[in-house]
Structure 1
């Protein structure tokens, strides 16, 4: 993969080994504005990422992988209760996002994302369950990369968890039981509605209503099994 260096000064030293990949969308009106912000040392909220993937598939490297980029913010996942930035490689995918005309991700762009994720996953032996979206680790604040992101394409290559589709059973959890299971899976459930919607955005994107129904319960139960079975 041809990667173009476009260094950002917004980084510091890691405090944890790399064990995660976090996918974002840029959420700005155009790529140039997003890249400029990720490289701006004078921004009020200094942010950065390790990589940016443009809509035509071009990949920019802003921060070396051995450094801590500032992309996750206040976030947690599984056994990492804070400082996700130290444990992760952050990839920003150019897309205007929900505020500026959210749209499908071009095939060329996703092809580059797949190659990049594959290389990083192999480099650090990252598990599928630790390849996540920003909304997974910060459900109260974030919606990216959003319901249009084709997680299924990554799942088919074992680069993310699949949406379970086989041998589904309804455990008939109450909402409280569902939230306990969701927390066990990895989500912060401090805001129950936000956590449920983040789960749906990732694993049942055709209906994001914040309601716990039989389908949500069946999907989550299957994800908690040792080997989730899906079409991917």
Structure 2
């Protein structure tokens, strides 16, 4: 017995026991994308449905495009863990999670099959339409948990999703030489960088010191928006790409 009807057309249902009510009367206004990081899709599906794992996700998308729903969208799945966005903690209570079958680092970050990405696009669009989720609130797990998580990784095709109406993305500035900010630096330029990252949504203290947290956030930003080089160094390309993203948000709101 499945326990509920699938909310996305064509999805299968396999109920996970790992869920609960959303806290503080929150409703989902954010979509978080993950990779499974396990050897097989079946292993990931079994783990997300095992009581002892204490993890789950609303959806799992297999490599062949098959979609499995495990938790109702209105319920709080246990997919994001500790993190925040826009200074709001308990990401699980304001988000819907999609796990995408991919081995990640245990197999050298294999590419995501086209049929799988097509399914992710269709599912994401459906969720965003039904819950009125803004493009800039379609995020990576690494965005809400920098330094702790890296999924879905720098090989995830965010540009393809954006071209199909999912997520907020701009053409990243080309990697080139020039002034950069890195670990240990202090001063107003670091404070300005931290302020822009915080304004976009990342969780970090604006203290003018390029500390480990700042490096982790810069890496997370690069992994999503400037994947050509993920090194935690705020080079000219990284800062320019961040400017472009923030400018695009202002233009969309005006």
Correspondence for 2:80: 72
Correspondence for 1:108: 115
TM-score normalised by structure 1 residue count: 0.90
| Deviates most, 107-116 or 189-198 | 189-198
| Structure 1 Cα separation of the partners of residues 164 and 112 of structure 2 | 18
Preserved contact between residue 172 and residue 226 of structure 2 (Cα < 8 Å): no
- Picking from 38, 42, 46, the partner of 1:36 is 46
Q: Greater relative contact order (Cα 8 A, min sep 6): structure 1 or 2?
A: 1
Q: Which runs of 4 or more aligned residues in structure 1 lie more than 3 Å from their structure 2 counterparts after TM superposition? A: 226-229
Structure number with greater Rg is: 2
Aligned pairs for 1:123-134 (under 5 A) are: 123-134=130-141
Return 5+ residue gaps in structure 2 as ranges: 1-8, 181-187, 206-212
Q: CA RMSD in A?
A: 2.0
1:21 aligns with 2:31: yes
Correspondence for 2:223: 201
SS at match of 1:35: helix
| Structure 1 Cα separation of the partners of residues 165 and 13 of structure 2 | 28
Preserved contact between residue 164 and residue 228 of structure 1 (Cα < 8 Å): no
1:181 aligns with 2:232: no
Q: How many residues align?
A: 223
SS at match of 1:174: helix
Aligned pairs for 1:1-232 (under 5 A) are: 1-15=9-23, 16-43=26-53, 46-79=54-87, 81-164=88-171, 174-189=189-204, 191-227=213-249
Q: Deviation at 1:158?
A: 2.5
Preserved contact between residue 164 and residue 223 of structure 1 (Cα < 8 Å): no
Return 5+ residue gaps in structure 1 as ranges: none
TM-score normalised by structure 2 residue count: 0.83
| Structure 1 Cα separation of the partners of residues 36 and 248 of structure 2 | 33
| Structure 2 Cα separation of the partners of residues 24 and 202 of structure 1 | 12
| Structure 1 Cα separation of the partners of residues 74 and 12 of structure 2 | 17
What whole-Å deviation, never above 9, does each CA across 1:52-81 have from its counterpart, x for those lacking one?
Answer: 0000000000001111000010011115x2
